[in-house]
Chain A
Amino acid sequence: MYNFEFERPGSVAEAVAALKSEEAQALGGGQTLIPTLKQRLAAPAKLVSLGGIAEMKGVCLNDDGSLSIGGGTTHAEVARAAAAHYPALAALAGGIGDPAVRNRGTIGGSLANNDPSACYPSAALGSGATIVTDRREIAADDYFQGLFTTALDEGEIITSVRFPVPEKANYQKFLQPASRFALVGVFVAHYAGGTRIAVTGASEDGVFRWSAAEEALASGAALDGMAPEADGMIADLHGTKAYRAHLTGVLTRRALQAMA
């Protein structure tokens, strides 16, 4: 990798200040960023590690019943600490990557990266979560803006993510056999106001809400045989567009079945 300066601030304020310098980049758990640096696909002048910021770590239940997860909380920690409060989210976190990846990778890092095949974006979007940054709050529906693209500004740090806890929820992940990212992942969450369905891995535009299915459910219809349009789906070595569209339907039904 190219060389860089390194800073490890102890607070969000310090991190924000450090990120103001030219070509500075935040380093979360590094499970995507470090391989990217190794391939020399990125050349930050400075890396600002968020790993030393205690205030960004941990899971806590808010008074309104929502669950806040610090942006620097590892997947392993979410899998443990969220299990009692939001089992579907904990299960999703416990299925990201592999155990060693889960010990380093963070929810903030994953959401900031917004890999089109990552798991967390589907949970955030499917839960209608709020992305809390050092400077504002962003609704999940506004946050994800396509492949590796988010509403975050330069140097903006995800300090926490606030998840409304649904009545029930389920995540179905179909593995891409090589990377073990989601070939397709579907997160379904049922709230008093309705059911939200978010799909990762499938679309060329990244995570998306499958509105047609949400509406069908709202109208009381069954989803039998239903699948999103194949057009706009990802086609690669591991699956055709039609296959990803089909899987989206299958996994959604399986999630609903698991929730029933």
Chain B
Amino acid sequence: MPKDSGIGASSKRREDVRFLTGAGNYTDDINIHGQAYVHFLRSDVAHGRIVSLDTSAAAAMPGVVRIFTGADFEGVGGLPCGWQVTDRHGQPMAEPGHPVLAQGKVRHVGDPIAAVVAESPEQARDAAEAIEAEIEELPAVIDMKAALAEGAAKVHDDLPSNLCYDWGFVEENKGAVDAAFAEAAHVTTLELVNNRLVANPMEPRVAIGDYARATGESTLYTTSQNPHVIRLLMGAFVLGIPEHKLRVVAPDVGGGFGSKIFHYAEEAFCTFAAKALARPVKWTSSRSEAFMSDAHGRDHVSKIELALDADNNFTALRTETYANMGAYLSTFAPSVPTWLHGTLMAGNYKTPLIYVNVKAVFTNTVPVDAYRGAGRPEATYQLERVIDKAARELGVDPIALRRQNFVTEFPYQTPVAVVYDTGDYNATMDKLEEIADIAGFAARRAESEARGKLRGLGVNCYIEACGIAPSNLVGQLGARAGLYDAATVRVNATGSISVMVGAHSHGQGHETAFPQVVAEMLGIDESMIEIVHGDSSKIPFGMGTYGSRSLAVCGSAMVRATEKIINKAKKIAAHLMEASEADIELKDGQFSVAGTDKSVAWGDVTLAAYVPHNYPLEDIEPGLEETAFYDPSNFTYPAGAYACEVEVDPETGKVTVERFSAADDFGNIVNPMIVSGQVHGGLGQGIGQALLENCAYDPETGQLLSASYMDYAMPRADDVPFYAVDHSCATPCTHNPLGVKGCGEAGAIGSPPSVVNAVIDALQSGGKAVTHIDMPMSPSRVWSAMQG
């Protein structure tokens, strides 16, 4: 019987009412009296030297308040990078400066050169067009391998080359891995591209800077997944504003998918300009601007090799990846191809020896950073594609080959540092075979073939490391921030509760799911609990939402804070009932004395805390408000098995996804409806990556070819089927209080390989000797592959 409230209930989302009635409050919906508007003049060349910048004519245009250039930001900090990777030789990565407005050079199409603040957005744009910018165009480096070649133009003149770092993991294992390959009975090799993507939350970014002269306080309203991170980075590293004079508000945010984690130049600019001009300054990105200023995702070029013994056991794995950083290091960019990627190369398998090499490269393209899954999709894609290719080469069933090599005993120490606490990969594979009706595939294929279509089935597993992250561990790995989270539970006098959380909800449904947890713990109604998030002046210092961490980390903080509330409330209840604290039980919102019929209601205790007339003031303070910070002791490891069935039109190469099934182990589930929704969304993005989405640059000029929705193919409703998703196979996380693992990224991590595996299966069933097609598998690419 499904629950109707508390943990495990599919409570309907309370936030929906405002979103369904047009009553949401997104950043662009905010207008502050007297605000001016900024338009950024952006580079239209990929690489160039700013010879001169004449703003005099533009400054005289109607409505112009002031024009800023890079010169105005001399002495102001650049945009910081939050993660330092150490290379194979123990040296720190190359870390170039990242000015708010370009200084000296422009390094990608879209790099901001100047900012015009005017009375209206159109006036700002009119004036931006009147700026006379003489830019000497330089050769652009776009292709990563070409960027590393001798004599290549340098993105950053002050660095020795375009190499950011050459990372080896685990460097000490390299020799043993190479030896295992020498002894292998079979080696499967695959070269592949993990296509560059644009996150494309439907809400473009917006920033509004405001400044109060009377108090000296700056406020930034921004489309962010983590207001406190922005406050820290922008206040401490860019603008030098102490925390108590800087407030960052992320109100309703229309999706993020990673792209709204990072601290962007426009945020710093609006905050800076608001103070300089003593008036609010607003920037609203157009979608076209978003394509050239939001951090992009993925963009890896890899070679992966899998060694097997004569019994088809995986004996070693070796990968070499070129990872595009773009022109500057975005906030968490260096961590994505390394610690979020190399540590997941073991996948669900007990491969004993693994070596991962990653060369991160600067190019004249938009910076690349985390996008839904961040590093883990790239690892999963390589691994699950090479396993599939191995199965085909060996003539064995791809599911059987996976099962044979599954990790089955936990905890499991991988050869790539991380320790899986729990899991049951055979269980999710069993469930997948059931919900995907794999037994019925042959009949469906026959039916497709009768219609002249090729049908393929692709399967893959995935594992991810979520609940980011143990601070002491990530500190050793180069993180420049802690990755705990925080929650304050404020019980009001009449028993209602406000919970202030560091996590930010921009589609995840925290406002509904988090109260379910507190309600369950206290035995009170969910409607008595409200979640407050997104305003650094209201919430404790938590690190925000990304890496499928909100419930596992912030939710755990909320549990700890609620436990403190319960402990204190029991003391108060014990006093009220003149009983021993040890005998107090809390059930269904009633405190009772064990073994008696004495009880007091939740509301009586909370009232006593705030009206402490009959209260143990000598022992405990009045009030009922507790804060907890939670720093996880390990990552969480959601895992699962996915299956995709496609039809390929052999005449056109058009691929249609006919069925998609996902069996996930997310540990315990708080709101199954929301969890399913998260998986659906991830699948949509993963299918998009596999079949449609491609952020492409002209390899010579560095012009962005997919610069709008006219050329960047977003998945639409008719590109995807209904999905079959299941999360009943639950091995609860062993180290957080809720036993939860996180579900936000799984769909995007787990789905691309099965789509590709399915297309290869379909083509081979049609007698085509195709072993790989790079994503996106557009009709043109599939057709070309079929031509041989």
- A joins B in a complex: yes
Which residues of chain A have a CB within 8 Å of any CB of chain B? 1-3, 39-40, 174, 177-179, 183, 236-240, 242-243, 246-247, 250
Interface residues of B in 684-715 (CB under 8 A from A): 692, 694, 696, 705-706, 709-714
The reply to whether A177 and B709 form a contact with Cβ atoms under 8 Å apart is no
Task: Chain B residues near A237: list those with CB within 8 A.
Answer: 694, 696, 705-706, 711
Closest partner residue, chain B, to A178 (CB atom): B713
Task: Chain A residues near B712: list those with CB within 8 A.
Answer: 178
Contacts A239-B778, A239-B779, A243-B783 known; A177 to B652 CB distance under 8 Å?
Answer: no
The reply to whether A178 and B651 form a contact with Cβ atoms under 8 Å apart is no
Given A178-B706, A239-B779, A243-B780: 20 more A-B contacts, CB < 8 Å: A1-B122, A2-B126, A3-B122, A39-B288, A40-B129, A174-B779, A177-B713, A177-B719, A179-B710, A236-B711, A237-B694, A237-B696, A237-B705, A238-B711, A238-B778, A238-B780, A239-B778, A240-B784, A247-B652, A250-B651
Task: Chain B residues near A240: list those with CB within 8 A.
Answer: 780, 784
Task: Chain A residues near B129: list those with CB within 8 A.
Answer: 40
Task: Chain A residues near B719: list those with CB within 8 A.
Answer: 177
Q: What are 9 contact pairs spanning A and B, CB under 8 A?
A: A2-B126, A40-B129, A177-B778, A178-B706, A237-B705, A243-B653, A243-B779, A246-B783, A250-B652
Task: Chain B residues near A183: list those with CB within 8 A.
Answer: 779
- Measured in the bound complex, the distance between the Cα atoms of B123 and A3 in whole Å is 10
Task: Chain A residues near B784: list those with CB within 8 A.
Answer: 240, 242-243
The reply to whether B780 and A178 form a contact with Cβ atoms under 8 Å apart is no
Contacts A239-B779, A243-B784, A246-B783 known; A178 to B652 CB distance under 8 Å?
Answer: no
- Measured in the bound complex, the distance between the Cα atoms of B778 and A177 in whole Å is 9
- Measured in the bound complex, the distance between the Cα atoms of B131 and A137 in whole Å is 47
Contacts A39-B288, A174-B652, A247-B652 known; A239 to B713 CB distance under 8 Å?
Answer: no
- Measured in the bound complex, the distance between the Cα atoms of B126 and A195 in whole Å is 52
Q: Give B476 Cβ to nearest chain A Cβ, in Å.
A: 42
Task: Chain A residues near B122: list those with CB within 8 A.
Answer: 1, 3
- Measured in the bound complex, the distance between the Cα atoms of B710 and A177 in whole Å is 9
Dominant SS among interface residues on chain A: loop
Task: Chain B residues near A174: list those with CB within 8 A.
Answer: 652, 654, 779
- Measured in the bound complex, the distance between the Cα atoms of B126 and A250 in whole Å is 48
Which residues of chain B have a CB within 8 Å of any CB of chain A? 122, 125-126, 129, 288, 651-654, 692, 694, 696, 705-706, 709-714, 719, 778-780, 783-784
- Measured in the bound complex, the distance between the Cα atoms of B651 and A177 in whole Å is 17
Closest partner residue, chain B, to A98 (CB atom): B716
- Measured in the bound complex, the distance between the Cα atoms of B714 and A183 in whole Å is 16
The reply to whether B710 and A178 form a contact with Cβ atoms under 8 Å apart is yes
The reply to whether A239 and B780 form a contact with Cβ atoms under 8 Å apart is yes
Q: Which of A240, A243, A250 has the most CB of B within 10 A?
A: A243
- Measured in the bound complex, the distance between the Cα atoms of B784 and A2 in whole Å is 44
- Measured in the bound complex, the distance between the Cα atoms of B783 and A242 in whole Å is 10
Q: Give A167 Cβ to nearest chain B Cβ, in Å.
A: 26
Q: Give B212 Cβ to nearest chain A Cβ, in Å.
A: 35
The reply to whether B709 and A179 form a contact with Cβ atoms under 8 Å apart is yes
- Measured in the bound complex, the distance between the Cα atoms of B710 and A39 in whole Å is 13
Task: Chain B residues near A247: list those with CB within 8 A.
Answer: 652
Q: Give A255 Cβ to nearest chain B Cβ, in Å.
A: 13
Closest partner residue, chain A, to B710 (CB atom): A179
Task: Chain A residues near B779: list those with CB within 8 A.
Answer: 174, 183, 239, 243
The reply to whether B778 and A178 form a contact with Cβ atoms under 8 Å apart is no
Task: Chain B residues near A236: list those with CB within 8 A.
Answer: 705, 711
- Measured in the bound complex, the distance between the Cα atoms of B135 and A226 in whole Å is 50
Closest partner residue, chain A, to B719 (CB atom): A177
- Measured in the bound complex, the distance between the Cα atoms of B784 and A247 in whole Å is 12
Q: Give B202 Cβ to nearest chain A Cβ, in Å.
A: 16
Task: Chain B residues near A238: list those with CB within 8 A.
Answer: 711, 778, 780
Task: Chain A residues near B654: list those with CB within 8 A.
Answer: 174
Q: Give A196 Cβ to nearest chain B Cβ, in Å.
A: 23
Residue of B126, B653, B714, B783 touching A178 (CB-CB under 8 A) = B714
- Measured in the bound complex, the distance between the Cα atoms of B653 and A174 in whole Å is 11
Task: Chain B residues near A178: list those with CB within 8 A.
Answer: 692, 706, 709-714
Q: Give A223 Cβ to nearest chain B Cβ, in Å.
A: 13
- Measured in the bound complex, the distance between the Cα atoms of B719 and A91 in whole Å is 20
Q: Which of B705, B779, B780 has the most CB of A within 10 A?
A: B780
Q: Give A234 Cβ to nearest chain B Cβ, in Å.
A: 11
Task: Chain B residues near A246: list those with CB within 8 A.
Answer: 783
Q: Give B116 Cβ to nearest chain A Cβ, in Å.
A: 14
- Measured in the bound complex, the distance between the Cα atoms of B719 and A60 in whole Å is 36
Task: Chain A residues near B710: list those with CB within 8 A.
Answer: 178-179
Residue of A2, A40, A179, A242 touching B711 (CB-CB under 8 A) = A179
Q: Give B128 Cβ to nearest chain A Cβ, in Å.
A: 11
Task: Chain A residues near B711: list those with CB within 8 A.
Answer: 178-179, 236-238
- State the 9 A-B residue pairs at the shortest beta-carbon distance, nearest first: A178-B713, A177-B713, A239-B780, A243-B780, A179-B710, A250-B651, A178-B711, A177-B692, A237-B696
Task: Chain A residues near B652: list those with CB within 8 A.
Answer: 174, 247, 250
Q: Which of A3, A39, A178, A242 has the most CB of B within 10 A?
A: A178
- Measured in the bound complex, the distance between the Cα atoms of B524 and A53 in whole Å is 64
- Measured in the bound complex, the distance between the Cα atoms of B228 and A221 in whole Å is 72
- Measured in the bound complex, the distance between the Cα atoms of B653 and A198 in whole Å is 23
Q: Give A24 Cβ to nearest chain B Cβ, in Å.
A: 21
- Measured in the bound complex, the distance between the Cα atoms of B778 and A240 in whole Å is 11
Q: Give B694 Cβ to nearest chain A Cβ, in Å.
A: 7
- Measured in the bound complex, the distance between the Cα atoms of B784 and A178 in whole Å is 20
- Measured in the bound complex, the distance between the Cα atoms of B694 and A242 in whole Å is 20
Task: Chain B residues near A179: list those with CB within 8 A.
Answer: 709-711
- Measured in the bound complex, the distance between the Cα atoms of B125 and A183 in whole Å is 34
- Measured in the bound complex, the distance between the Cα atoms of B709 and A178 in whole Å is 6
Task: Chain A residues near B288: list those with CB within 8 A.
Answer: 39
- Measured in the bound complex, the distance between the Cα atoms of B122 and A38 in whole Å is 10
Q: Give A179 Cβ to nearest chain B Cβ, in Å.
A: 4
